[in-house]
Structure 1
Amino acid sequence: MNQSALTLTIAAGTAAGVVIRPFRLPEAVWAVLGAGLILVLGILNLAEIWAGVAKGTDVYLFLIGMMLLSELARREGLFDWVAAIATSRAKGSPKKLFALIYAVGVVVTALLSNDATAVVLTPAVYAACRAAKVNNPLPYLFICAFIANAASFILPISNPANLVIFAGGEMPSLGRWLATFFAPSIAAILITFVALYVMQRRALLSETLAADIPTPALSFPARLAGIGLVATAFVLVGASAAHLDLGLPTFIAATVTTLIVLTVARQNPTGIVRAMDWSVILLVAGLFVVVEAINQTGMTASLASELTAISADSEWQAVAITGIGLAFLSNLANNLPVGLFAGGVVNAAHLSDRLAGAVLVGVDLGPNLSVTGSLATILWLSALRREGITVSAYTFLKVGAVVMIPALIASLAAL
């Protein structure tokens, strides 16, 4: 077996391990194992391995910052409070509660990333449903999974995959980003809402809610956490507008917010640091190494050349092929490795904003088809399991097929 074939075999095995999780080992184990095999077999030397890892520095800082803010908000009960407010405003109406939770999900995803929606908002929504005496919380919990991906390209900060795709290349300025993705984002959010509501309408109509829901008190540290979240959002929007990398501003803003809140609350920072899922960083680092090895096979350059040729004949055809192809591929191999590889193609081909937009829409929105499509959906499943709720892959696929496909077509058309 030649080196290119060996590299692609390791890459395929790594992607399969991340998606299937044999022996129930964490996703990070398979990514690190793949990177280790690339080193041991001499496909990349130590310096090249390190270069691959270093390409993800901005992504690591962004993820650490967002995990800090998410864990801080969870510990202080900020999102429990937000979910309780939404439940009380519903005034006993299941349809109104559905719309309110959806709106909260859009805001949380846009400003804190889709992983925060999965990790933090999901248990808060479940707690709110329990307080409202909801018999079947699943329609509301589905919102957390689907909006996490549907709203994940409103801003560059809305999905770590956005940073992954443009890692090693040029992140569009905020103005270019909004010009490219505002209309597709609105299309994805609206179509996802309508399709999801239609799918869950019967369950909502048969539901009754308690109208008088007590709102938990919001502590002073929780208020500070909320102010810090808003301030961080403004910092990141400003950094994006100034065409700066987003990782370091996220890390600094999150660290300052955390230190202020923990000082006021007189809490030890070790608790929040230990509660964070550091395996995510290892997962992403391992995938960066695997994609670095793939780049050296020449496959990235070959696909970039092919995509450029198709685009020259018909840009709309290239948009459709790219967006739809990556959307379905993200469900077979998870959108993080797919996004990393697609990002290499984007940077190598110097694609137009519209075609690069199709790459990002496919990688961000495509995972709404299946439970293995994105890290956010995997985290959502884990959050449900902690509450004793199980959603099978088939159950999710039945909803995902109705929700994702029309939203994807509408978003690509809006480009």
Structure 2
Amino acid sequence: MSTIAAITVFVVAYLLIATERVPKTAAALAGAGLVLALGVVGSDEVFYSRDTGIDWDVIFLLLGMMIIVGVLRRTGVFEYTAIWAAKRAKGSPMRVMILLVLITAIASAFLDNVTTVLLIAPVTLLVCDRLGISPVPFLIAEVLASNIGGTATLIGDPPNIIIGSRAGLTFNDFLVNMAPIVAIELVALVVVLPWVFRGSFSVDPRRVADVMALNEREAIRDTRLLIQCAVVLAAVFAGFIGHSVFHLAPSVVALLGAGVLVLLSRTQPKDYLAGVEWETLLFFAGLFVMIGALVHTGVIADLARLAANATGGNALVAVMLILGVSALLSGVIDNIPYVATMSPLVADLVRDIGNPAHAEALWWSLALGADFGGNLTAVGASANVVMLGIARREGFPISFWEFTRKGAIVTALTVLLAAPYLWLRYFLLS
């Protein structure tokens, strides 16, 4: 009965989120309340379990970075960057999109995609406001790029951290194995952007002329605060990159950075808390509880085990099946809990495969499938939810299906490119 209840609640809540019949935060929290009320999970599983509970590392990483961005916004640096980007692109919306997409992808590899989205979204909103165009296509394109770019490194996408820990893979392992395919995927993304977002690049020439006449340096309002933010952000980024050396989780680094910056800048609570996306944080909490119920009742493990058993001991079949299943399921249930559940099963498969290159390919197929699959729907990755939350708060709501129509195309493209890469590198050329 618990299994049926967990599945029913999740499916109903997911349909409500997808159809937008009710606000997605309300649907997620109601679903979480139901699985608790029905006894599918208890408070211990929800609040204290790493496997089935709320991922507090994600929640507090978001909270810390939202506070930092809230303080940083007061400096005027986002306006500066927006004007700089628009002028470098000569006011062309297409070139602006490509520039911001590349910046987002590269930054996502060395920070994490959620942090990058929090930093790039205000810039995008300002650029589009200056040019008098809708920011929606740009925000969607950037979050798609963040999930692709974050695939390149251990710290770029949260599922990679889980995989690296389980498989003993280092930052350099990810960079050497994932960066080549990510570079190919980014080129492909840039090529299809004009088609995927066709009709989104019309601009009034007068607006372009106005932007080109602006002096970006005049946008900086508080140089002293900007220096403080730069120092704190540099320390935070160093903490993200060296988290395995410092033994500090990214969430702790973000909270420390937020606390130090608030103290240094003497920013008032009403100012730095105004930038916190409380609805997004609550949505994540509700979603984690519902997915935790599926994990607790064994639903996700059963699905993953069925996929693993279908390989018949063939390493290439296993790699391709893991890639496809991971892309599909990660897009539906969020890639963090999916990878947490799937990684022990992949570890079992790895032990049964004699060829080291074939065995390693299983881990890379899981990473590629989960990270690229995060682009499939609006709830497939943490960065998606954060970006949609920002867009809604700024008055540019992006519907579940508007995102998914674009995301499904990019997911299909990236997975189709990843399959021959895995075959060529780990089977044909190994």
TM-score, length of structure 2 as denominator length? 0.77
Structure 1 residues 154 and 221, CA gap change in structure 2 (3 angstroms): farther
Q: 1:325-372 CA distances to partner (integer Å, 9 max, x unpaired)?
A: 3333444x3x42x54134212224415443333333333323434445
Q: Percent identity?
A: 23
1:354 pairs, out of 361, 368, 371, with 361
The equivalent of 2:428 in structure 1 is none
Native 8 Å contact 1:150 1:365 kept in 2:
yes
Tell me which moved more, 382-391 or 262-271: 382-391
Please state whether the residue corresponding to 1:213 is helix, strand or coil. coil
Structure 1 residues 363 and 19, CA gap change in structure 2 (3 angstroms): farther
Structure 1 residues 346 and 20, CA gap change in structure 2 (3 angstroms): farther
The equivalent of 1:44 in structure 2 is 41
Gaps of 5+ in 2: 351-359, 423-430
1:173 pairs, out of 164, 170, 173, with 170
Structure 1 residues 264 and 110, CA gap change in structure 2 (3 angstroms): same
User: Counterparts of 1:190 and 1:23 in 2: how far apart (Å)?
Assistant: 38
Q: Does 1:238 align with 2:242?
A: yes
Equivalent pairs counted in the alignment come to: 403
Native 8 Å contact 1:102 1:143 kept in 2:
yes
Native 8 Å contact 2:330 2:338 kept in 1:
no
User: Counterparts of 2:398 and 2:4 in 1: how far apart (Å)?
Assistant: 37
Q: Does 1:214 align with 2:221?
A: no
Please state whether the residue corresponding to 2:155 is helix, strand or coil. helix
Runs of 4+ more than 6 Å apart: none
The equivalent of 1:262 in structure 2 is 262
The equivalent of 2:319 in structure 1 is 319
Deviation at 1:199, TM superposition (A): 4.1
Q: Could you tell me which amino acid in structure 1 is paired with residue 213 of structure 2?
A: D
Q: 1:190-223 CA distances to partner (integer Å, 9 max, x unpaired)?
A: 2212211454577658775333332022622123
Q: 1:94-144 CA distances to partner (integer Å, 9 max, x unpaired)?
A: 55433322222224433443334444423322312333x355656544432
Q: Could you tell me which amino acid in structure 1 is paired with residue 178 of structure 2?
A: F
TM-score, length of structure 1 as denominator length? 0.79
Native 8 Å contact 1:123 1:384 kept in 2:
no
User: Counterparts of 2:65 and 2:110 in 1: how far apart (Å)?
Assistant: 10
Native 8 Å contact 1:303 1:345 kept in 2:
no
The equivalent of 1:226 in structure 2 is 230
Tell me which moved more, 390-399 or 213-222: 390-399
Q: Does 1:411 align with 2:412?
A: no
Q: Does 1:86 align with 2:85?
A: yes
Q: 1:203-248 CA distances to partner (integer Å, 9 max, x unpaired)?
A: 65877533333202262212322332233222221224x4x76xx4
Q: Map 1:309-388 to 2 at 5 A.
A: 309-311=309-311, 313-331=313-331, 333=332, 335-336=333-334, 339-350=336-347, 352=350, 353-371=360-378, 373-388=380-395
Native 8 Å contact 2:68 2:261 kept in 1:
no
Q: Map 1:106-117 to 2 at 5 A.
A: 106-117=105-116
Q: Could you tell me which amino acid in structure 2 is paired with residue 153 of structure 1?
A: T
Q: Map 1:78-157 to 2 at 5 A.
A: 78-94=77-93, 96-131=95-130, 133=131, 140-157=138-155
Deviation at 1:69, TM superposition (A): 3.1
RMSD over equivalenced CA pairs, Å: 3.7
User: Counterparts of 1:386 and 1:274 in 2: how far apart (Å)?
Assistant: 11
Native 8 Å contact 1:105 1:121 kept in 2:
yes
Gaps of 5+ in 1: none
